[in-house]
Amino acid sequence: MQCPTCGSTDVYRSRRRWYERLFNWLLWFHQRPYRCATCMSRFWLRLEPRVWRHTLKTRFRRVVLTWGWYGGALLLAVVVAWVMNLLHQKSQESNPIYDAAMKQGIAKKLDETDLTPEQKKAAEEFMKQNQK
């Protein structure tokens, strides 16, 4: 590669300015800036298609790998929250078999304990109210 001004081969890549980056990304302008070390002139060279395709692929891979971890973590958090919500809803629903077993256990305990007749009557009324 040679400098178009002085013909020197001592050329290196120059950095793009912010508006040049924007222009290149918006208009798909596949050129890179170079600077001559001898005369300090700045010039642009068009990239070969295989070079900018390779650059585009590597940038895409980098973005996917970087944001893929964040997306995976977000998806995992959503799934865990959904499962926890589902378990919470299931625990709030009344299960008739479980309720009947609990009531039978409570009734058995009421028979086994020494309660006054008023306490037994209050407990039976409470059980009737909760059956409805």
* pLDDT 10s digits, 30-89: 788 899 999 999 998 887 878 778 878 888 888 888 888 888 899 999 999 999 998 888
- Looking at the chain, the whole-number percentage of residues with pLDDT higher than 70 is 83
Same domain, 28 and 38: yes
Rounded to an integer, what distance in angstroms lies between the CA atom of residue 45 and that of residue 12? 12
Same domain, 68 and 43: no
Is residue 132 very low, low, confident or very high in pLDDT (cuts 50, 70, 90)? Answer: low
Same domain, 34 and 57: no
Counted domains in the chain: 3
Same domain, 110 and 124: yes
Neighbour order of strands in the sheet with 42-46: 11-13, 31-36, 42-46
Same domain, 3 and 33: yes
Same domain, 42 and 53: no
Structure tokens belonging to residue 123: 């407990």
Q: Which of 27, 47, 67 is the last residue of a domain?
A: 47
pLDDT of residue 1: 81
Report the predicted TM-score, pTM, of the whole model to 2 decimal places: 0.38
Range of the domain at 6: 1-47
Same domain, 39 and 53: no
Same domain, 124 and 84: no
59 and 65 Cβ atoms separated by less than 8 Å: no
